A and B are shown apart, each in its own frame.
Chain A
Amino acid sequence: MKFFFPDSQDLVDPSFDFDTEKRKETRIRQRDDLYAHEVFEKPPYDGMLVSMAIVHGTGGSTGRYTLGQQRRFSVEGAREFLRLPKGLELIGDCGAFTYVKEPVPPVSVEQVARFYEDSGFDYGASVDHIILEYDPQWDRPLPGTKPVPEDCVRRQELTIQLARDFQKLCRQQKVRFEPIGIAQGWSPKSYSKAVSALQKMGYKYIALGGLVPLKSTEILQVLEEVSPKLRPSTGLHLFGVTRLDYVKEFARHSVISFDSTSPLTQAFKEDRENYYGPERKYPAIRVPQVDINQKLKNRILSGEVSQAEAFRLERECLEALRDFDRRSFRRLELIEVLNEYQQLYGSTRNYSADYEILLKDRPWKECPCAVCRKLGINVVIFRGAERNRRRGFHNVYVTYKRLKHIRGKARTL
């Protein structure tokens, strides 16, 4: 089973100095920065997934790329732009999550196909419209249960029609990428129906969309309904799903690939599970920047907190952490300093107990990845994109290592 890592311009600046917190002045975004596959000796994924919505934006959204980057992406091609090593594959999709609230997708089949073709993708997904509701009961309606909402049915029909148009266009234009058909549904049976329709159109690679909010067992129920109808040559992709504990079951149901950003985003979006250790996940240590943390900024502007005091404590925290890593600062004192700063910036959460476990375990000392080797304790500090994103890269590395381990044990994956 292959793991694709979605691109959303997540790069780190190698010129960033963790002591002075400055970067090279001449640094040019993206060109001088590094992708996760450039940070580690070996890429921590089998390929990348790039959404048209991230590059160009769709409808109202503007995308993450500057106009200059958009231009270079289409002229150089995705592979060269992302500096993707040989052997890694590229899936393109349209990024349906960005227009989920609109009545119809704001992109046309032609636009999307041109985007894939011009940028040189290996696989290109059809245009889809996410179905927001899911309820297995709709498969066995009892008297009195409400019927399937019209909007769900409409979105599925639209998605199937767009997949048909897409397949036709790809054949006409003899495109170089392999088309992927996307199935949307609201229950196991409805997914199965969509997948069968796509298979009939000639799709050999079919992706299931809209699974992100589902529980792992629900995803399995969908797969159990879908897989019996698959031809041996058909493979499935799961959009936005990393459930390593279920990889073996998924594989049994013809899943050949998935993609997910969650190992990266957990590094800075989760409350307590920011750093993936070998046994458990740890919270990262919060040391926000005085000049960026909004809460603290407001307290300074209102005169509630002295800026000098805030700067002093911030610096004290960072120095204490550094000293702790060199074993010249004690754990309990460190936690005390961290708490003092936390009170200043007004966080109501108490992380002391979690910090204590993290500082006792020192998991970053054990990790062989390039990030942990280079950053030391900085990798577990929750602070600014350069630290947070590198911690995310570490999580991606750990995830991929685990996946490879599972794959190694079961040869059929």
Chain B
Amino acid sequence: MAKASTKAGVRRSRKKTANELLLRVPALEFNQGKDRRLYSFAVDGKELHKFCTISRVSRNDSEGLSGYQRPEVVSHIVQIREYLESENPLLPNAIVVAFDESVRFKPSSPNSENDKAISRTGVLEIPVKEGVLDALKPGWIVDGQQRAAALRDARVEGFPICVVGFIASGLEEQRQQFILVNATKPLPKGLIYELLPSTEGKLPIALQRRRYPALLSERLNFDDDSPMQGMIRTPTNGTGVIADNSILKMLENSLTDGVLYLYDDIEEQLDVLKTFWSAVKTVFPDAWGELPRKSRLMHGAGIVAMGFLMDTIADRHRRTKALTSKVFVNDLEPLRDICHWTEGYWEFGADNRLKWNELQNVPRHIQLLSNYLLIQYRELVWKA
């Protein structure tokens, strides 16, 4: 295939010398079944690429095995790379490598005291050819491709990692293992968010940003004095009526552009949140606590739009008085009649009229509802 002979490829093969070395690493061998031997060892992540290829993609001359890489891969690699460049990274899970038959295991002296029934110590001998084409390397990374790429690209001197290898009888078997380990489902997003508050240390930036809102959401869900106690639906609280994502969105909005931005202290933030949502519960008792299909107040659009109202009421009063329950109730009361959480029609003006249950959790409707509530608030409360 013409593509295989790119500039980079040509340059590499030209550099190729017959300088074959034997990389010898201390390893543990164990049997997982008949003819199934696994080797566990540690290696510098930067060294990995001397004997492993991340992808067999360039071997597709005749076989037509096109790359396994999914489109989002590159951005994911960048995330891991940034994590590896952080203060004190940890990469406990092993990279899984399928070796071809040129790799050998040499057990240490028979009956070494470290040997047990299921494992024995020794040295794994991996042939390393300087400047060889990727396709000719003895190892193929079947799990951990993105971590391996990140290790290679990270601006760190070195980073020891754990490798689990096995010797595959051929390409077919390598591929089978590749499919098997990569067919597992990723963790559901919701579970990750739920685990976030109890993690420490650096996480990939996207998750890092969600950690604080997740912590606030957790407190709203579990604190005894929270009006939302037990109401936020998470993987471990399946009976909640409000989707955790709606709460997180509301919190994120306020943390960047609303009242929560003004406080550094989490207790103060929670205080405002609990006071406001208690007021919402007081003013809209019938819509509160119902499933979203019965009440749009508990729906993504309702939660997010009411969050903006919280920020606006706070903006109006915070300079002059404490944000008490009374302040919020007084400012919400005049809006009671124009809200149609459980029945009737939203009169958004002009030809924009929506039946209460036509309101969907989509950006367009969230914007429509938010603007409507804010304009009504300005007219009926702020200017009145």
Please report A residues at the B interface, Cβ cutoff 8 Å. Answer: 20, 22, 25, 28-29, 31, 56-57, 62, 66-72, 74-76, 108, 114, 118, 290-291, 297, 300-309, 311, 343-344
Contacts and interface: CB of A to CB of B under 8 A. Distances in A.
A71 B370 contact: yes
Contacts of B304: 67
A190 to B, nearest CB: 31
B130 to A, nearest CB: 15
Given A291-B74, A309-B8, 15 more contacts: A31-B256, A66-B256, A66-B257, A67-B308, A67-B366, A68-B257, A68-B308, A290-B74, A291-B77, A300-B74, A302-B3, A303-B3, A303-B66, A307-B153, A343-B7
A388 B153 CA distance: 24
B67 A301 contact: yes
B312 interface: yes
A305 B55 contact: no
A69 B153 contact: no
Contacts, number: 96
Contacts of A72: 257-258, 311
Give the most central of A68, A114, A311: most B CB within 10 Å.
A68
A291 B70 CA distance: 14
Given A67-B367, A71-B311, A304 B257 contact: no
B256 A344 contact: no
A254 to B, nearest CB: 38
A68 B258 contact: yes
11 contacts: A57-B367, A67-B253, A68-B256, A68-B311, A69-B257, A71-B257, A75-B315, A300-B74, A303-B67, A305-B6, A307-B149
A57 B368 CA distance: 12
Given A304-B6, A344-B8, A62 B363 contact: yes
B152 to A, nearest CB: 6
B8 A75 contact: no
Contact of B71 (A31, A69, A301): A301
Contacts of A31: 256-257, 261
B125 interface: no
Give the most central of B149, B152, B253, B363: most A CB within 10 Å.
B253
Contacts of A309: 8
B374 A74 contact: yes
Given A303-B66, A308-B152, A71 B258 contact: yes
B370 A67 contact: yes
4 closest Cβ pairs, A-B complex: A68-B257, A303-B57, A309-B8, A68-B253
A29 B256 contact: yes
Contacts of A29: 256
B325 interface: no
B35 to A, nearest CB: 32
Given A71-B312, A305-B6, A297 B350 contact: no
B152 A306 contact: no
B165 to A, nearest CB: 21
A305 B67 CA distance: 12
A303 B58 CA distance: 6
A75 B318 CA distance: 13
B9 interface: yes
Interface string B66-90: 1101010111011000100100000
A308 B258 contact: no
B256 A306 contact: no
A71 B149 contact: no
Contact of B55 (A56, A118, A303): A303
Contact of A297 (B57, B74, B261, B363): B74
Interface string B292-329: 00000000000010001001100100000000000000
Nearest to B9: A306
A69 B254 CA distance: 10
Contact of A118 (B155, B209, B256, B378): B378
A68 B55 contact: no
A309 B152 CA distance: 11
A219 B364 CA distance: 39
Give the most central of A70, A72, A297: most B CB within 10 Å.
A72
A318 to B, nearest CB: 12
Contacts of B156: none
Give the most central of B256, B308, B364: most A CB within 10 Å.
B256
B134 interface: yes
Contacts of A306: 6, 8-9, 134
Contacts of B75: 291
A62 B362 CA distance: 12
Contacts of B134: 306
Contact of A302 (B67, B205, B315): B67
B64 to A, nearest CB: 12
B49 A308 contact: yes
A28 B209 CA distance: 10
B256 A303 contact: no
B58 A25 contact: no
Interface in B71-124: 71, 73-75, 77-78, 82, 85
Contact of B308 (A28, A71, A291, A308): A71
Nearest to B60: A303
A298 B231 CA distance: 45
